[in-house]
Amino acid sequence: MGCERLSSQDICACTRKDLILSTSRSRVGRSAEIAAAAELGRLGYRILASNYRRRVGEIDFVAEENDQLVFIEVRCKRTSTFGSPAESVTPTKQSRLAAAAQCYLEEYGIKNKECRFDVVEVIFADGKLLVKDVIRDAFSV
């Protein structure tokens, strides 16, 4: 059992190694999102929201590109041994993204707007992050 999010008020019976790994993963994940945001901006995306969270799921970025509303998932992996970062966006994750996207559309009263789901693949190797690919219209629901 690993640690969930910790605060100074939380008491957790976890090992120091678990805590270091969790913190390290969080930092890499956040850094991957920063790298992805920079690449998206370079490609002409206009980011409207980041880390949009609702009970049903989370969307890393909501953006506009070419008059389309784009819901973006950032995936970072250290190795491609078990598939590409995009392949880790499982059908379950896709459903959660779609549900969160629906919440976003309802919350902001957005209707009749073309939408799509993109995935940004980030590789972490040799202590460096590399945006490998931005996959437009990566999946549909």
pLDDT values of the chain reduced to their tens digit, one per residue, 141 residues? 222 333 333 334 444 444 344 446 677 778 889 999 999 999 999 999 999 999 999 999 999 999 999 999 999 887 666 778 888 888 999 999 999 999 999 999 999 999 999 999 998 888 788 889 999 999 887
- Pick one of 3.30.470.10, 3.40.50.150, 3.40.1350.10, 3.40.50.1000 as the CATH number of 16-139: 3.40.1350.10
Nearest Cα neighbor of 74 from 20, 111, 37 is: 37
Q: Which amino acid is at 16?
A: R
Per the CB < 8 A criterion, the answer to whether 118 and 137 are in contact is yes
Whole-angstrom CA distances from 141 to 30, 41, 97, 98, 137 are 26, 26, 9, 7, 11
